[in-house]
Structure 1
Amino acid sequence: MPEPTVEERLWNTWVEAAAAKRPPGLEKFRWTQYGDHGPGHELLGTPRRILELGFGTGRHLAFLLDAGFDAWGVDLSPSGVTLVRDRYPESPPERFSCADARDFLRAAGESFDAVYSVFGAVWFTDPGELLPLVHRRLAPGGVLVFSQPPPIPGCYGPQGMFKGGFAGEPMFLVRYDYTADAWRGMLGRAGFVGVRAEVLEAPTPGDIGTLLVRAVRPGLEAGAC
């Protein structure tokens, strides 16, 4: 087995720490970082087949599977995928795939009616590469929905994040931070329509909000939301 890349090792560390803080299970599907706050999985419409990009601890994907959806997911972390499969033994293990989201989308043989990301791969993948791949893999009328923190004012585009301080091996991730207006433009250029992008206010005034974006691949009428 090949040695994990720096990026894989970083995500291995993250998912192990996150899983230790969060017990298995999820009563509700939420897009924000504040638990029972904001809309739920109804933003996906009524899809036949769903794909999550970057499932992390697996709780949203497990929720959809438990609710009877034909849901699939992909994540870059090898140990994270193993951990999630162990946490949700009632879910078929093949629903939790280990791969780069771009590679998975290129290789996927079937289309999806909804693709989503909750603080996941959409935040950490170049949208110039990712959005056309998602568009290609969505069925006509399919939806892309994702959430992530809004950008820090003045800090837009690729933003590097070091892990563990500034000494030793340079381990870092690149995230992609854009305003709601910028996402509308990028999604439109990638062929999406009906783009809605907004920052949801936090439940406590003064706290960080959540950037929530929904877009449709043109075609058949998308499911109600």
Structure 2
Amino acid sequence: MTAFEWTQYEGHGPGAELLGQPRTALELGAAECREASWLARRGVRVTALDLSPVQVERARRWWKDVPGLAIEEGEACAFLRAGDQTYDAVYSVWGAVWFTDPQELFPLVSTRLAPGGLFVFSHGETPQGLDGRRPMYGKGPEGREMTVDRWCHAPEVWAGLAREHGFRDVRARCLPAPTGQALGTIIVEARVPA
């Protein structure tokens, strides 16, 4: 992997600079841990969390020699409740934030950020007229049909939710897709008070 990507389009949009200069970071919904391994190779101590045992096993195999990278299996809110470690940055690239109720998740994230810490996440553009909890249909790790909930909000709604839970310096936007592509990327940046 040559870059930290917030969108699904290689080389499109901002990179790891959105996280500032963290010493420690937590990725929620890390999947194959590409971004987590990229940060760890640059000296950040990263905990990468994913709910899928299949993804976790594959990521542990792929990145076993990357120092400073811990790959954990678990659900985001349960993980955040279970410990007391704080991080300079908590982030999610098309990951757990999209699939977790923000009324539950955002307060937990804020308690696990160090003073002045950053919360940054991205996910697919929300289609016009969709808002709130929406079912998403697909295939699970074993190939069986399943339904998961996804939270669909416009950038200004995400910004309001972040402010409601005490985040400051909130910036939320939809980065348009590159020419010829249909789906843009919502990117939200927020900070806890120092």
Is this a same-fold pair by TM over 0.5? yes
Give me the whole-angstrom Cα distance separating, in 2, the residues matched to 1:214 and 1:205: 27
Where 2:122 maps in the other structure, the secondary structure is: strand
Stretch moving more, 59-68 or 202-211: 202-211
Q: How does 1:58-207 map to 2 (within 5 A)?
A: 58-91=33-66, 95-163=70-138, 171-204=146-179, 207=182
Deviation at 1:207, TM superposition (A): 2.2
Instruction: Confirm whether residue 53 of structure 1 aligns to residue 28 of structure 2.
Output: yes
Give me the whole-angstrom Cα distance separating, in 2, the residues matched to 1:201 and 1:163: 25
Larger Rg: 1
Number of the residue aligned with 1:38: 13
Which structure 1 residue ranges, 5 or more long, are not aligned? 1-25, 220-225
CA RMSD between the two structures: 1.6
Which structure 2 residue ranges, 5 or more long, are not aligned? none
Give me the whole-angstrom Cα distance separating, in 1, the residues matched to 2:51 and 2:131: 24
Contact 1:85 1:93 in 2 (8 A): no
Q: 1 or 2, which has the higher strand percentage?
A: 2
Give me the whole-angstrom Cα distance separating, in 1, the residues matched to 2:88 and 2:69: 19
| 1:167-218 alpha-carbon deviations (Å, 9 max, x no partner) | xx76211100101111111101100011000011112156221101000001
Task: Give, as a single letter, the amino acid of the residue that structure 2 aligns with 1:115.
Answer: V
Give me the whole-angstrom Cα distance separating, in 2, the residues matched to 1:152 and 1:190: 25
Where 1:130 maps in the other structure, the secondary structure is: helix
Structure 1 length as normaliser, TM-score? 0.81
| 1:81-110 alpha-carbon deviations (Å, 9 max, x no partner) | 111111112125970000101111111221
Structure 2 length as normaliser, TM-score? 0.93
Identical columns (%): 44
Deviation at 1:78, TM superposition (A): 1.0
| 1:138-193 alpha-carbon deviations (Å, 9 max, x no partner) | 111000000001211111101101225xxxx7621110010111111110110001
